[in-house]
Structure 1
Amino acid sequence: MVERGRIENRIHRWLDIRFPEYGQAFEDIFSARSLATLRRFSTPSDLLQLTPERMIEIWEEYMSRPGGLRGKRKAIELLELARHSVGDTFALEEDKWELTHLVDEYERIQRIVEEADEMMKKMLPEIPGSELVLSVGVSAPATAAILAFGGDLSKLSHGNQLLRNAGLNLAEKSSGKYKGKIKLTKRGNSLLRKHLYFTVFRLLPHNSAFQALHTHNIEVKRMTKMQSIMKLIGKLARMLVAMARQGEEFSLAKVQLTLAA
């Protein structure tokens, strides 16, 4: 994952220099259509040698459904951006070679990640409690990380124990006569901490109960977004431990009744 992030950053930097307008056409520059574009006609000068119809023909080599109204609009949009691009054109051929290798490396790492995710999905049913965590909407990799680094959740007496394992409990940082601020200890597993944070971050667009509490925290309790997310991490930890101890899967109706408590 770290290596994939490094490659993604290098591709973003390449586009910032050579074709800074590219992101206006592709919100996700690592989508299938975008990767095909980066591989075959990544620069404004390449694009200006093609027609929308020819772009769709090239995309067809990498996608099952490249054309249609959406494909035609995307091709026309790319051409318009290319005509007004302010990208650097110095040593362009050498940099295009570099981008091709970056895309190759990204796709290689992505295949490995996808294979690992598939393997994880097959193995997760064998791990006690995994179906309960998955029922909340937690991803397979995050579920595996929470159970691997958090241990058997059914043996924890309270969600705060899971937070302590992640270093997400609060403590006063003091020394001698110095009275410091109360902050997160971070004296726990950093990967568990990371996955709990990103799990809440990814649940917010899809879980109506968490959305409602997040809105309440911000609009009624006047918390910042980050303060609300940290509070939701605590709520998630307590909920996961309670579900594991009771052997019950996630129930949206039940949670909506208790989230404000």
Structure 2
Amino acid sequence: MNQHEKRDVIVGMEPTGHYWLNFAYFLQSHDIRCVTVNPMHVKRSKELDDNSPTKNDVKDAKVIAQLVKDGRYSIPILPEGVYAELREGMKLHDMVMQDLHALQAQVHNWLDRYFPEFLTVFKDWTGKAALQILKMGCLPKEIAKIPSERLLWEVKKVANRAVGMKRIEQLKEVAKASIGLQTGTQMAKEELRYLLEKYEYLTHRLNELEKQLSEMVQTIPGAKEMCEIKGIGEMTVVGFFAEVGDINQYHHPRQIIKLAGLNLKKNESGQHRGKTITH
């Protein structure tokens, strides 16, 4: 900039992947305007000059510069402060949720192989009583030999009213007649133990993370009022601010609607007068 005596500069780039973020934040910290161009626009504009779809760095840079010159760019939202924390927190939240869903599928897989009748007694293995039984690390034939009083005592540690002796007896009956696998049982127990320990860690981590995010979002003006809206939970509000950022940077509600992908337009051609559709 100093070499070419430029004072008012706009730097344009394609927001592909995550590699552009570091440079964008660097430019923002130095009060240099940073904008992004739609990668699809770059792809479609390549043939305008040389009638060739070939791709190289020099050609891409020229196309991006032309799009910026013509005003065909967007100003990226680069959150800072609590908004940046919420965005990163929601990324982590999504990662933990994905791991939890994968883990739940793995436990279901284990039950299908070694104790397929378990879910006929307990509809949800993540319930306190069902989880406590699984933590005992016993296979069906072993459960069938454990006294009912002992099983009920284990369940009462975590769920006083949810399960009674009738459910315990039902569990023992299906355990006796189980068609679960009888091979590889030692490692099957280790697998179940590993899965349940991982499940406890992930659920604990998720609860701690949601608690942190809830405390953070309450520091944003208007967040408390949004949480009081019927049907709107705290994590929904967290997700909103994580994506939108500071709402003071917007001048009209339609900007937020467009950001959500609800870009309303009319589809008309010739004598046809179409209705407004979502694009």
Shorter chain as normaliser: what TM range? 0.5 to 0.7
Secondary structure at the aligned position of 1:126 is classed as coil
The amino acid across from 2:120 in the alignment is: Q
Q: Distance in 2 between matches of 1:98 and 1:124?
A: 39
- Residue 145 and residue 79 in structure 1: after superposition, are their counterparts in 2 closer, same or farther (change >3 A)? same
Aligned residues: 173
Give 2:252's aligned residue.
157
Q: What is the identity percentage for the equivalent residue pairs of Structure 1 and Structure 2? A: 24
Match of 1:39 in 2: 135
**Are 1:17 and 2:79 matched, yes or no?**
no
Cα distance between partner residues in 2 of 1:38 and 1:47: 10
- 1:111-156 CA distance string (max 9 Å, x none): 1111111222222221122123212332222210111102345746
Using a 3 Å threshold, how does the CA distance of structure 1 residues 108 and 156 change in structure 2: closer, same or farther? farther
Asked if residue 26 in structure 1 is aligned to residue 122 in structure 2, the reply is yes
Question: Amino acid of the residue matched to residue 132 of structure 1?
Answer: E
Letter in 2 for 1:99: L
What's the CA shift for 1:108?
0.8
- Name the TM-score, length of structure 1 as normaliser: 0.57
Task: Output the CA distance in 2 between the equivalents of 1:151 and 1:122.
Answer: 16
Is 2:121–2:170's contact at 8 Å kept on the other side of the alignment? yes
Gaps of 5+ in 1: 173-181, 186-261
> Structure 2: 5+ residue runs without aligned partners?
1-96, 267-275
1:141-195 per-position Cα deviation (integer Å, ceiling 9, x unaligned): 221011110234574634x6444323355789xxxxxxxxx9976xxxxxxxxxx
Displacement of 1:28: 2.1
Structure 1 runs of 4+ aligned residues shifted over 4 Å read 152-156, 168-172, 182-185
In 1: Cα distance, 2:131 partner to 2:227 partner = 31
More strand by share: 2
The residue type paired with residue 20 of structure 1 is: P
Verify: 1:87 aligned to 2:177, yes or no.
Answer: no
Q: Which residue of 2 aligns with 1:226?
A: none
User: Is structure 2 residue 236 aligned with structure 1 residue 142?
Assistant: yes
Displacement of 1:102 in angstroms is 0.6
Let me know the Cα RMSD of the aligned residues: 2.9
The structure with the larger Rg is 2
Give, in whole Å, the separation in 2 of the partners of 1:72 and 1:162. 56
Q: Pick the structure with more helix per residue.
A: 1
Give deviations 1:54-81, integer Å, cap 9, x for gaps: 10222344x1x43x58332321221122
Describe the shift of the 1:152–1:88 C-alpha distance in structure 2 as closer, same or farther (beyond 3 A).
same
One of 108, 114, 121 as aligned partner of 2:214: 121
Q: State the one-letter code of the partner of 2:102.
A: R
